[in-house]
Amino acid sequence: MSKKPWNNKPCNDEPCLPYARPSITQAERDTVLAVLEDANGTLTQGAWLLEFEKNVAQAVRAEHAVACANATAALHLALLAAGVGRDDRVLTPSISFCATANVVRHCNAVPVFADIDEQTLALAPSSAIEAAEKMLAARTPVKAILPVWMGGGADARNAAELLQLKDDLNCLLIEDAAHALGSCYYQEQQQQQQQPVGCGAYADISVFSFHPVKPVTSAEGGVAVTNDARLAQRMRKLRNHGIERDEAKFQAPQHQEKREERGYEHYEMIELGFNYRLSELHAALGAAQMKRLQPLREKRRALAEHYDALFDRSSLIDCLQPLQRGLRACSAHHLYIVALDWKAFGMKRRSCMLALQRRGIRTQVHYIPIHHHPYYRQRDKDDKLVNCEQPVSLANSERYAERTLSLPLFADMQKSDVEKVVKTLEELRQIP
Ligand SMILES: Cc1ncc(COP(=O)(O)O)c(C=O)c1O
């Protein structure tokens, strides 16, 4: 059986409820087919790419959008554009998908893990400050901050404090907003104007993922947005092998001399870049899905609130706590995350997940802390970590990781599915 998270083939005898599943309409399928059927069309770097980038930029109120093959590639380009290089330190949480830290390593730089805030699940400013001070004292100052908006919930106060830290450190801040397309920064004073994640109020660059489990999808894809034309231009160049097509910027003298006589479009490769381009098929799907960004978000929001209401009056109230409730109003609702006291629940997480699966419900753990992965645990002969730094306590991250569980949440789910998940958890609970 396929291990795809949105797989809805039977877990047992019944169809299985995945933890996430993309919502693709017939019109969206037709849009992709039309790209293939257009005899004069191009399959890469064409009009759909521009349309997709325009849609994303407009939706998040950013000036520039650079679409890439996936968000990992976009994050890599963002860090390179920010000037992150060999042995530079990048502050980031350990509660994320490993791609967040891996892109730092792809720049030959070192991720410095700081703790999360237990309420928002975001990089905790107090822990980030402590880690930054330790890095400074060790003469390895932080070059960039890379926070993550877990599950799609973003908090304005948290973002403002990290922005202050960025100013103090005089470095760039790149948001891993892989989960957060369509969300706004939650303000305690709701009368303040809502600012979408990606608008540049709190970050130099924000990166969204369009992987199939994310709020909207292009099958694979990632988009970096920024209000800085220079950063956007650099990401575009690095996305396409480091190639320069602007003749005014050509460096070889012979190319400048022959410019008028040339009967073909010339280009120069100025620096070592990558092929991180997105195909027209992916861009067309992404552009079509962007039209449903807010309706899809509203559907997930209604389902998340239904879970909240059911858990409020559930017998599980003493052992299960829905997380990030304070951010519901503004979240992209990529994930519905709960924290369980497994002892009080009477079952280990593993057994609970298997039992749920036997009853046709798939769940997921977001995430194994990145610093637990063998690659990030490697030490040298002096017992010093090789691929990361951990200068501060990660106690909140550890506690969260032990208790967390992501329940099914996707736009095409029904309220009755939510009721089934809650009821099944209630039935599974073993009271001694
Ligand atoms: C927080 C986070 N950052 C980065 C990524 C990488 O996204 P992509 O799969 O588009 O490369 C993911 C993907 O799951 C993610 O969850």
What is the residue-level pLDDT of the chain in tens, covering all 432 positions? 445 554 555 565 567 899 999 999 999 999 999 999 987 789 999 999 999 999 999 999 999 999 999 999 999 999 999 999 999 999 999 999 999 999 999 999 999 999 999 999 999 999 999 999 999 999 999 999 999 999 999 999 999 999 999 999 999 999 999 999 999 999 987 666 789 999 999 999 999 999 999 999 999 999 999 999 999 999 999 999 999 988 888 888 766 666 666 667 789 999 999 999 999 999 999 999 999 999 999 999 999 999 999 999 999 999 999 999 999 999 999 999 999 999 999 999 999 999 999 999 999 999 999 999 999 999 999 999 999 999 999 999 999 999 999 999 999 999 999 999 999 999 999 876
Nearest CA, atom 16, ligand 1: 97
Q: How far is the CA of 298 from the centre of ligand 1 (A)?
A: 22
Using a 6 Å CB cutoff, which residues line ligand 1? 70-72, 96-97, 99-100, 148, 176, 178-179, 209, 211, 222
Q: How far is the CA of 394 from the centre of ligand 1 (A)?
A: 22
Q: How far is the CA of 72 from the centre of ligand 1 (A)?
A: 6
Evaluated on CA atoms 416, 421, 423, 427, the torsion sign reads positive
Q: Domains for the chain: give ranges and CATH numbers.
A: 26-290 (3.40.640.10), 293-428 (3.90.1150.10)
- The pTM score is 0.95
Q: Do the beta carbons of residue 59 and residue 258 sit within 8 Å? A: no
Ligand 1 pocket: which of 209, 214, 274, 276 to mutate (most atoms <8 Å of CB)? 209
Nearest CA, atom 8, ligand 1: 71
